[in-house]
Amino acid sequence: MKKLSMFLMLIIFITSLSPIAESIPRQVDPATISEDSNVPDLLNAYSTISNSIGSLDFSSAEQNLTYILQSSFPSTYMYIFQRGNELLSNILDSLNLTKLMISNATVLIQNNRFSDADNLLGQALFTLANANATYIQLLELYSSLPISSSRVTNTFNGIGSAINLLFEKILTLKEEIENRQNLIPTKISINVSPLNVNWGEKVSIQGSLTEESGNPLSDREVLIHIGAKIYTIYTNSSGQYNLDEKITSYQPCVQIYSEFIPSGNDKYIYAYSSSQIYNVTVSYIVPEVSITLNSTYVTPGSTIELDVKSNYILEFNLTSNLWNLTFTNEKESRILLEVPATAKEGIYNLIVNSLPNGELAPTSWSTNLTVYKESLQLNISIPKQIFSGKTYEIRINSTIPFDIYVVASPGINATVQGNSIILRIPLSYINSKVVVNIIVDPENPSYKEVYLEESIPSYNSLAIFSTLAGAFAVAIPLARSTSSVRKAENKKEKAEESSSGTNLRNKGIVGEFFEALEMISKVKMEGWMTLREYLSAIKERIDEKTYLLVEELIFKIEKVIYGGVKYTQLKEEVSIKVKALIELLRKKK
């Protein structure tokens, strides 16, 4: 009868292998479409999933399928791939369930629960048959792609291998059930006393192992479970066993039972058996412990207070990612905990355990500790613009001492001097901006580092002079031809008052400078105007770069006129700059 039922089971499974037709909507005839470039890559990915399934690694297969679902599928074959993903997901679910049922059936067989195991294997076989039917649908579906049937079969052959492997496992277990159903039943008894003990007291365990008929089984291994502990002992010649053992568990109730698990040749002769379960009540002392922390929000480098009170002298362990220490509490103590200066911001779990000591049970206390850093307040002075060939300073101030680290744009010499960053801009620097990356690292670990990126507009001085020279190339000759009388007067005044510096704006080569400005700005330098009034009048009439250069020169002229003897040397600098422009104009002619 058993062979007949096995034969019928095989017929049902093989029948499930027959193809199941499915209507697949097609936008175009696949035979007329060339292979899409994305299809081979997708099939390679599916092959990876199939290989994982073939090795029964269903978790990796599911993870890889998740990645594929995020892929872009060819629009022409969108339905095929979407439907294929559904079928593949169903196959994975069925195979995973089959594997789980096989594992559970194996445990049932080990416990001689053959009927339950046989029923579970029947369910596993049915689930596997569904997986196989879905697998056939999957092959037919992907055969609709413009690729060879052998390519499709090779891509998914891992699924077929998994189905065959699980089917073989089911048959093997069913065969084991058939072989082991004639095992000789066994009986294991147990007696435990006393059933109420203080911690550390012994319990006496006695029992026997026999065939169901009463024949003793001598020299057999018996497992005795006392709470979470397992002890291995052997029966004597009369099938008896006994064990005296201290109860050292800090659980209020401990379960005690024994079991016989046939091994070696016995597993083909005798059946598994287990005894009844005894519950033993255990008495012990739970210390009264009070733990408080004065603060759960701390900064690196700070110190917090852990107050511990207990009604017994106890040893404690304190563990976290910040500390790991042991201390003895004399009923009341205060532990000072310094937060490491290197501690990063975040939440840390702090656990304090009292260690067991005989009948004194362990205790545990925990809390979360938040480490944070204060924001560093800075006062930063940064140049509004930068000209090539000059040196600039970025000054940083704070009430908290700090170190500075700086990296500037390529070609810029950036150095730190105290609380300042010195930027030396080469005359050849032509970029439109200078980028300065600054790290302000406070010496106090309670404060956060500050990361700054400053972008400062940059102007090339040579380019500005060249632009101005281009404008002056037209303006200066015209000014000379129309103002010869005025220039003569300027020369005369320069000879008379060369050392005084007064009224410099109307003298010599500087006079030519103002005449040129009048020509390009169309604004005349009136006698009643101050230098700054004139500068304001021409601001909107010349380009920005030219204006900035003019502004610098006029401010220097102003210093020469009104600044007294200490600025006399600027007269030479102003003259040199204007002469340089005139010389440049002469070379361009």
- What mean pLDDT, rounded, does the chain reach? 82
User: Which pLDDT belongs to residue 458?
Assistant: 92
From 266, 283, 300, give the residue that closes a domain: 283
Is a pLDDT exceeding 50 seen at residue 550? yes
CA separation (Å) from 127 to 51, 89, 175, 201, 404?
21, 14, 19, 53, 68
Rg (CA), the chain: 47
* 315 belongs to a structural domain: yes
Most confident of 51-60, 296-305, 455-464: 296-305
Cis peptide before 194 (omega within 30 of 0): yes
Q: Ramachandran region of residue 448, left (φ > 0), alpha (ψ -120 to 50) or beta?
A: beta
Domain count, the chain: 5
90 in a structural domain = yes
Residue 504 in domain: no
**Residue 476: pLDDT over 60:** no
CA distance 463 to 461: 5
Q: What mean pLDDT is predicted for residues 48-74?
A: 84
User: Is a pLDDT exceeding 80 seen at residue 165?
Assistant: yes
Q: Which range, of 144-153, 274-283, 441-450, 464-473, averages the lowest pLDDT?
A: 464-473
Please tell me whether residues 42 and 165 are part of one structural domain: yes
Residue 468 forms part of a structural domain:
no
What pLDDT band is residue 29 in, cutting at 50, 70 and 90? very low
Classify residue 490: in a domain, yes or no.
no
Residue 361 has what pLDDT? Answer: 95
Residue 47 in any domain: the answer is yes
90/167 same-domain check:
yes
Do residues 295 and 428 share a domain? Answer: no
Same domain, 246 and 266: yes
CA pseudo-torsion sign 491, 492, 498, 501 = negative
Task: For residues 155 and 221, state if they share a domain.
Answer: no
220 and 246 both lie in a single domain: yes
Q: Are residues 325 and 275 in the same domain?
A: no
Q: Which residue has the tokens 């003990």?
A: 197
513 & 414 share domain: no
Measuring CA to CA, how many Å separate 226 from each of 12, 76, 254, 490, 554? 48, 66, 7, 117, 99
Residue that finishes a domain, picked among 427, 444, 463: 463
306 and 249 co-located in one domain: no
> Do 229 and 325 fall into the same domain?
no
Paired tokens of 279: 């519950």
Q: Give yes or no for a contact between 366 and 393, defined as CB atoms under 8 angstroms apart.
A: no
Where in 123-216 does DSSP place strands (E)?
A: 186-193, 196-198, 202-211
Return the pLDDT at 130.
93
Q: What is the mean pLDDT of residues 229-244?
A: 96
Q: What is the pLDDT of residue 471?
A: 53
Return the pLDDT at 242: 96
Q: Which of 135-144, 384-393, 398-407, 506-515 has the lowest mean pLDDT?
A: 506-515
Rounded to an integer, the average pLDDT of 62-68 is: 84
pTM to 2 decimal places: 0.52
Phi, psi dihedrals of residue 431, rounded to the nearest 5°: -70, 155
More confident residue, 6 or 551: 551
Residue range 80-124, pLDDT digits in tens: 888 888 999 999 999 999 999 999 999 888 777 888 888 999 999
Please write the tens of the pLDDT for every residue from 278-330: 999 999 999 999 999 999 999 999 999 999 999 999 999 999 999 999 999 88
For residue 255, being part of any structural domain is answered with yes
CA neighbor of 553 nearest in space, from 537, 567, 573: 573
Task: Determine the Cα angle at 420 with ends 415 and 422, to 5°.
Answer: 40
Domain with residue 341: its CATH number is: 2.60.40.1930
Residues 271 and 194 in one domain: yes
* More confident call, 491 vs 26: 491
Residue 24 has pLDDT above 60, yes or no: no
Exposed, middle or buried: residue 248 (CB in 10 Å: 0-12, 13-18, 19+)? middle
> What is the rounded average pLDDT of the residues 441-450?
92
If one compares 219 and 548, the residue with the highest pLDDT of the two is: 219
Do the beta carbons of residue 300 and residue 340 sit within 8 Å? yes
Strand bridging mode 278-283 / 303-310 = unpaired
Whether pLDDT at 566 is above 80: no
Question: Would you give the distance in Å from CA 435 to the centre of its chain?
Answer: 29
Domain CATH number, residue 454: 2.60.40.10
Which of 347, 371, 395 finishes a domain? 371
Which amino acid is present at 181? Q
Please indicate, yes or no, if residue 551 is contained in any of the structural domains: yes
pLDDT over 80 (residue 9): no
Q: Note the pLDDT of residue 45.
A: 83
State which of 136-150, 197-211, 527-541, 557-571 shows the largest mean pLDDT: 197-211
Whether 190 and 293 map to the same domain: the answer is: no
What domain range is 89 assigned to? 36-179
